[in-house]
Chains A and B, each alone.
Chain A
Amino acid sequence: KAGVTQTPRYLIKTRGQQVTLSCSPISGHRSVSWYQQTPGQGLQFLFEYFSETQRNKGNFPGRFSGRQFSNSRSEMNVSTLELGDSALYLCASSLGRTTDTQYFGPGTRLTVL
């Protein structure tokens, strides 16, 4: 079975621009969660989508948004990019029950100049 895939793997943007990252979960998985990893703040939960609905949300500003499609693929969008948004963005998928293990993708490295 193919693992979680994320595209693009690397991205360079300038301040003020917006960006969209994509995550394709493992086949059959209905939950997708997004995390931000930075050297200063570590790994922080952004949000989780399950069956096209946001089920949980972390403490991030409204510039960070996401959505999930009927095939469980998910996108996250960051508008009005700031230098501090430079990070590794990881997505994780699971079947969706709280007993299920989350499996991570390779991440998208976003650099904001």
Chain B
Amino acid sequence: AQTVTQSQPEMSVQEAETVTLSCTYDTSESDYYLFWYKQPPSRQMILVIRQEAYKQQNATENRFSVNFQKAAKSFSLKISDSQLGDAAMYFCAYRGEYGNKLVFGAGTILRVKS
């Protein structure tokens, strides 16, 4: 079974600074998808970024980028120029080649200090 591990329960960052959230996963599949979702206090789960395992290029969405290391099974999220609105719980998620089941990590609470 696939597992996703987020080893940082909580992180803090100063406004305008850069922060990196870590995620590792375990799978025997060769093709899969990885996601970062953000869950603010409203509890609405919002997609931040996605990465297809077959793509070597790291995904980027504005201030958000990933460092995808397939061999190491690592998928970290970098947030540049952090803003107060980035404060939320961040979940790393895995989806296999077949089906729509997402496997989530335990989450990392990100606090942004002004």
Taking a contact as CB atoms under 8 Å apart, the answer to whether B102 and A102 are in contact is yes
**What 0/1 readout, one digit per residue, does chain B (31-55) give for beta carbons within 8 Å of chain A?**
0010101000011111100101000
Chain A 28-80 interface residues, beta-carbon cutoff 8 Å to B: 31, 33, 35, 42-45, 48, 50, 55-56, 58
B interface bracket (residues with beta carbon within 8 Å of A):
20 to 34
Taking a contact as CB atoms under 8 Å apart, the answer to whether B43 and A106 are in contact is yes
Taking a contact as CB atoms under 8 Å apart, the answer to whether A55 and B91 are in contact is no
Q: Is residue B99 within 8 Å, beta carbon to beta carbon, of the partner chain?
A: yes
In the complex, how many residue pairs between chain A and chain B have their CB atoms under 8 Å apart? 62
Q: Is residue B59 within 8 Å, beta carbon to beta carbon, of the partner chain?
A: no
CB-CB under 8 A from A105, the residues of chain B are 44
CB-CB under 8 A from A25, the residues of chain B are none
Chain A: interface residue total (CB-CB under 8 A)? 28
Bound complex: CA A110 to CA B98 (Å): 30
Q: Which residue of B lies closest to A9 (CB)?
A: B43
CB-CB under 8 A from A56, the residues of chain B are 99-101
Residues of B participating in the A interface, judged by any CB pair closer than 8 Å: 33, 35, 37, 42-47, 50, 52, 91, 95-107
